Chain A
């Protein structure tokens, strides 16, 4: 069973998001996503300064099995991409909600974050998917 921290928000496409004190949003992929992908071998995180729209693909995670896009849940400006993933993509496997974060975005508008699924809804979505 994968971990779904209660304090985070989620997308159906298995991204998680956390609202930071400074108003930025940290985004990564869920424990379920990293388990499904298997050992990650490469992560392409976005460059700081890039403008993204909600629903836009802005990172790529590649495992020994597959490559997948990571979608932004919010529109805004990328404040940082996680540079550590360049040399250590496995951080996403070992610590998907911590050191394995992918990008930090300053949202144009907080309502998009608020509209994301909470942990309970995401768990239900996972249960429906694995059913």
Chain B
């Protein structure tokens, strides 16, 4: 079962790097923000898969914190886009 999780994590890497193309080449700042948001979701899934593949389940706490950080980044950039200011 561990090798299944490793294969699933590797299979998630390819869409992640494809999203990186949109984050670099995106025409507007909103494209970059939504592609970084998707990359954060995929990273949470990969961290959960690796934590079960290596049987170190305290990595799930890292996944919780990463989900929180992605949300805060998205909200901050959206506020900057709307008001041209983050204060």
Partners in one complex: no
Q: Give chain A's interface residues, CB within 8 Å of chain B.
A: none
